[in-house]
Chain A
Amino acid sequence: MSKILIRGAKVLGGEAQDVLIDGETIAATGADLSADGATVIEAAGQVLLPGLVDLHTHLREPGREDSETVLTGTRAAASGGYTAVFAMANTFPVADTAGVVEQVYRLGKESGYCDVQPIGAVTIGLEGKKLSELGAMHESAARVTVFSDDGKCVDDAVIMRRALEYVKAFGGVIAQHAQEPRLTEGAQMNEGIVSAELGLGGWPAVAEESIIARDVLLAEHVGSRVHICHLSTAGSVEIVRWAKSRGIDVTAEVTPHHLLLTDELVRSYNPVYKVNPPLRTERDVMALREALADGTIDIVATDHAPHPHEDKDCEWAAAAMGMVGLETALSVVQQTMVETGLLDWAGVAERMSFAPARIGGLSHRHGRPVSAGEPANLTLVDTSYRGVVDPAGFASRSRNTPYEGRELPGRVTHTFLRGRTTVVDGKLA
């Protein structure tokens, strides 16, 4: 394999350095490295990050290949600067057996754009009734360690308790979609001032918060580890903060869209803003930013949820919930966290690469320091770039982005997966 010299990039936003990639690994970092025999990438002014890791992606394959496939999803991921994604289990069939997770794992290997780590379903068919064969999925070629019924909440307290206990045997984690089902029957958007006016079914914050409160207490009781998916309310932040202060082994994620958008946008009745959990209020958004900055929320995860045009080009109530996010995540984080002074680039690296790799049990390969001897999974970002989001240019098969026409900062110019460029000059290789 060839050598690549990245010249003058600000590693994790710090001092400008050269980074020499030789084959699959970083050979050296430092000042004025020799370009001998290497392809040179002039990166002055750009920020070099470890390849991003998304703990929460919907790749839709198998079953909804009209929305996304492993190939199109991983191309979207590479475009967004990701070198690894965790694929959620709510496919058709559901990823609740070793067979399905191995299929997804294999498709990821074949795609070559991004490592795909399947997430296994906690319960058979996501029905919340019987545990899936969690051990078999862990022992499969896919080595599953993260389990989630995402899209649905594991609402039965006993099933949740057993799942938390059971995965301790192999260091697994349960990633909970916190949504009390009875409190969210008919729910269409955040319950509050806007829902009252629009006459759309309300989705109360307490439906999320009550499940998080229960689950951190369960995790404490059985001495296990729980991860909270897409936290969206100020109250949820307080509960996680309390749980961490008490020593409970809980981690949490926030999506880019919950860091930027509010339920005021629903006034347009445009289903592009329909998402689960729903967009909340300005107060929630500010609390989430603070919590991500102070580490209460550990990571940013995209909840990339592709849907075909026809599932969104309809009336609100009939529309599917979800937004694509892989290709805009870093830009949204730059705008909401970096440009507001809440987080530096090292902080972004922690929350979008190191920590998600750690939580997902992938830190032997991803979320590694940018230093000699480490695998060359890297992302180079032009942070001075400003551009208007045009979904026509997305690599994702679906275009349901809430940012169409919005100006966002930052652009991934290069992505390296084990030394190989998957994105060059902002274009897929």
Chain B
Amino acid sequence: MKRHLISAADLTRDDAVLILDTAEEMARVADRPIKKLPTLRGRTICNLFFEDSTRTRISFEAAEKRLSADVINFAAKGSSVSKGESLKDTAQTLEAMGVDAVVIRHGASGAPYRLANSGWIDAPVINAGDGTHQHPTQALLDAFTMRRRLVGRDAGLGKDLAGRRITIVGDILHSRVARSNVDLLHTLGAEVTLVAPPTLVPVGVETWPCEVSYSLDEVLPKSDAVMMLRVQRERMNAAFFPTEREYSRRYGLDAARMARMPEHAVVMHPGPMVRGMEITAEVADSDRCTVVEQVANGVSVRMAVLYLLLGGSEPAVTAPSRTEETK
């Protein structure tokens, strides 16, 4: 595996399957009375959040603590774009404090890439969501959830998602979740279809390894999993679609539409859901909806990523020299 996890596109099929298999092992820890492994004892991980995201931050924090790492939470909301040098300064501060890995969430696309590649810092960088670019651990937890549901829990070990048909619905244009999922699902052999009004599909999408459709009803019967994306309220004032009601009618998932899906098909959502807009309460609460599982799986997948980046591929005590490059 690479040293950093910046984009789902960085992962090979074997990397991805290894992470999913490792996550299955990690998931077993959650079933124990004491949910903790000593794997990252003595390692310090910083959750560097320039943008609010309680869910993602807590998920990473739980994963880090279950691996016995020391955790520093750094919330630097709003300071980055108004004062650009703060990312570099913050990174160097963390480096000086001997942080072993940085989990970064940032409103600007590419900020984790810059952090990992500008010589500002030597520790592994894990992207926890950057702008409208990537959110690779989200894609991994989604793939993990799909593999469990569509291939099987233990039966799925070593397997990918070859031939599974996955539909991603909603604001593709602004979605790092969609970008990460298209990359990873393609790597895992799945066939991805994006469904959205044309205003919410990026110009240039034609080079992505997926199909694009403007009609949800046409795609639903051919889907093994349907992933609904959140539509942010601010899009409604920017003429991406006429009204909330019209969006809901054409692209929302309700019980009638869910009934058009194959029986085994699941409904996914990265959360938080806007009930009534992109998804009705009835669908959200049905047992075909995996939202709660996705949250639990997020912890297992993040444990797997941290373990593999920090401990799994090399002995924990002989970490490479961290001083030469940047000092």
Contact = CB atoms under 8 A, between A and B. Distances in A.
Interface string A237-281: 000000000000000000000000000000011100000000000
B292 interface: no
B203 interface: yes
Given A314-B87, A318-B81, A269 B110 contact: yes
Interface stretch (B131-139, B142-150, B305-313): B131-139
B202 interface: yes
Nearest to A202: B203
A193 interface: yes
B247 interface: no
A223 to B, nearest CB: 37
A192 B206 CA distance: 10
Interface in A305-327: 310-311, 313-319
B203 A196 contact: yes
Nearest to A313: B88
Interface string B178-197: 01000000000000000000
A315 B80 contact: yes
Given A310-B84, A314-B88, A318-B84, A196 B205 contact: yes
Nearest to A196: B204
Contact of B108 (A268, A270, A316): A316
A345 to B, nearest CB: 39
A194 interface: yes
B238 to A, nearest CB: 9
A314 B206 CA distance: 31
Interface in B110-136: 110-111, 113-114, 117-118, 130-134
B133 A315 contact: no
A268 B110 CA distance: 9
Contacts of B208: 196-197
The interface size bin for chain B is 20 to 34
B230 interface: no
Nearest to B82: A318
B106 interface: yes
A308 to B, nearest CB: 11
- The listed residue with most B CB atoms (<10 A of its CB), out of A191, A193, A318, is A318
Interface string B59-90: 00000000000000000000011011101100
B213 interface: no
Contacts of B134: 199
A151 B313 CA distance: 50
Given A197-B204, A200-B131, A310 B85 contact: yes
B88 A195 contact: no
Given A200-B131, A313-B88, A193 B207 contact: yes
Given A197-B179, A310-B85, A317 B204 contact: no
24 contacts: A191-B203, A191-B204, A192-B204, A195-B202, A197-B179, A198-B133, A199-B109, A199-B132, A199-B134, A200-B132, A269-B110, A269-B114, A310-B85, A313-B85, A313-B88, A314-B84, A314-B85, A314-B87, A315-B114, A316-B110, A317-B107, A318-B83, A318-B87, A319-B84
Give the 4 A-B CB pairs with smallest separation, nearest first: A318-B84, A196-B204, A314-B84, A199-B133
